Chains A and B, each alone.
Chain A
């Protein structure tokens, strides 16, 4: 395949899933219009959810999911050694995601609640970068299909990809949505990294920050508005900790 007259090297890519719902992999399979084109850009050597081919030779590894068991720690370390580029795919891989809610409870009680006396192994949930070096992060619960393709194209072309510095709030305004803060809801659009086209707020669901913090945001100001609007710290904390994606700004 050529781009601007240049023959592209087709990198070998592999997808691996860890503690997650596998919804991010599904976004890739669900991009019907461009799936065949995307597949011509890379050589997929490992994608267990849709393929029985298992290759050990790859240049880009996409890691979906958080890390929550010793075998996962070992497996992701092994992948890190084999791959050139390691990409964390989705909010669980980037931040731990909703799985991290488990960490609020004592581990022993958690296992007992579900399995009784038949104990099963589990570790506190970690993001991928807490276990191995991550070269690139694609957040989102789930990832945005369009953004994923855009990023993969950049990776294959060897071009830099940069996220918008502004928050989801900007995209939401561009879509002429009614502001959910004004409708008496807790919405984290003002501090969350743009790139999702404000998909949740378009459907009148407040943003809970799955994409992590925007480079340019003002958490102290949003927090004071929410407190002025009558929300308690507990209510605010429930939303900001939902995806475990905003702690670097909300813990300030």
Chain B
């Protein structure tokens, strides 16, 4: 088959940050394929130098407008582990609930606003407001619930205010928690409708054998801290994150790339499910989409995101029931500032996030390192692209179709490019 193709997507839309797709096919053969990250670097690790420990999570939350709660929690965990601070159980639950609000918010934003338009052949959610208004309204109602969760638990969705070293600075009232519990019950039907909606959308079929990395669950689906695991059988302690990521620099990207057992690996919802399927509270939903561990189709990240939405809603309801029976006064640990080094690994919407700080005896940060989920996915996207293009060319797809497939592939990782070049 003689096919010539040149795909140049400059500043891909419906993703956070700036990246370009560049593919050249000549006479049916792929000659070039690149995922170029052109985002402006901000140098957060440098900004952290000399900063007092209590400001670090406020600064690093600003790495990302979408997963700022996740960044704050990874940062706090690194600081707390460096200074040997054990936070109260109630604060742990409140933090997890805030994180679930963020996961839900981020996943829904992706499913309804960023991914769905591709499946309806439109450029954005705006035309869908007219053509599929009930579906859009379901998305908006669920997103509102997610944002209410973040507002009640963290004071705000973007750049949380009440997460602090030692726990939480201000607990919600029981009345607010009850209101949230009721709001969740009211939204269950919307969630079921969303599952039904996604059953009508066909995920492209594309498989590339991939290594998936995530936290390892012990008794529950993992979100904050714990061992690191890969589907290729690697198991490491949280502190060994550097040898789990192996960052390296490529000339065509301002974000670093990473690798483990193969040329690249993937993190994110599909990686979490591939490693922790048995702990999912929404296995029935996963089964409806035939999503089983280990699934190697990156487009199934969309479905994994949907399954996680159901999981976090169910888990949030359980957490709220526990919290409603608890005394909410013990929410922040007393501690002394001390010298130390700590790593915080947290599963944020796009995958596993690491913060690592060295803090001196006066509480100032001497050295910091942050490794972002999307940074870990860039190489995988880069190596998925040529395989996807070759498959599509063999199947006789047109330039327009291949371009769209490439864009959808990148979007399926829900990349947060601004985050990855922090």
Contact = CB atoms under 8 A, between A and B. Distances in A.
A27 B126 contact: no
Given A18-B40, A19-B42, A204 B418 contact: no
A203 B147 contact: no
B40 A122 contact: yes
A54 B164 CA distance: 41
Contact of B129 (A23, A36, A54, A200): A36
Nearest to A109: B46
Interface in A76-131: 97-99, 101-102, 104-105, 109-111, 113-116, 118, 120, 122
B155 interface: yes
A118 B64 CA distance: 24
Contacts of A22: 16-17, 64-66, 418
Interface string A1-39: 000000000000000011111111111011011011001
Contacts of A44: 126
B242 interface: no
B13 A200 contact: no
A24 B265 CA distance: 31
Interface stretch (B49-57, B231-239, B305-313, B346-354): B49-57
Interface in B21-57: 40-43, 45-47, 49, 51-52, 55
Contacts of B169: 203-205
Contact of A39 (B42, B49, B105, B126): B126
Contact of B43 (A24, A49, A102, A118): A102
Interface residues of B, number: 57
Contacts of B355: none
Contact of A21 (B45, B46, B64, B157): B64
A26 B16 CA distance: 10
A192 B23 CA distance: 50
A149 to B, nearest CB: 15
Contacts of B159: 23, 141-142
A159 interface: no
A23 B63 CA distance: 9
Contact of B16 (A18, A49, A53): A49
Nearest to A243: B62
Contacts of A19: 40, 42
A114 B170 contact: no
A50 B164 contact: no
B113 interface: yes
A166 to B, nearest CB: 21
Contacts, number: 159
Given A32-B144, A52-B14, A238-B52, A23 B43 contact: no
Interface stretch (B117-125, B179-187, B291-299): B117-125
Contacts of B49: 105
**Which of the listed residues A25, A32, A102, A122 has the most CB atoms from chain B within 10 Å of its own CB?**
A32
A117 to B, nearest CB: 9
Where chain A touches its partner, the secondary structure class is mixed
A147 interface: no
A161 B251 CA distance: 47
Contact of B143 (A30, A51, A98): A30
Interface residues of A, number: 59
A202 B161 contact: yes
Given A142-B65, A205-B169, A30 B418 contact: no
Contact of A51 (B42, B126, B249): B126
A216 B164 CA distance: 31
Contacts of B141: 32
A30 B51 contact: no
A142 to B, nearest CB: 5
Interface in A156-182: none
A199 interface: yes
B254 interface: yes
A205 B123 contact: no
B46 A114 contact: yes
Contacts of A17: 418
B11 interface: yes
B158 A27 contact: yes
A48 B40 contact: no
B161 A205 contact: yes
Interface in A30-67: 30, 32-33, 35-36, 39, 44, 47-54
Contact of A142 (B55, B114, B158): B158
Contacts of A114: 41, 43, 45-46
23 contacts: A20-B65, A21-B63, A21-B65, A22-B418, A23-B62, A35-B140, A50-B14, A50-B113, A52-B13, A102-B46, A105-B46, A109-B46, A110-B46, A120-B254, A142-B65, A199-B156, A202-B170, A203-B154, A204-B161, A205-B162, A235-B52, A238-B51, A242-B58
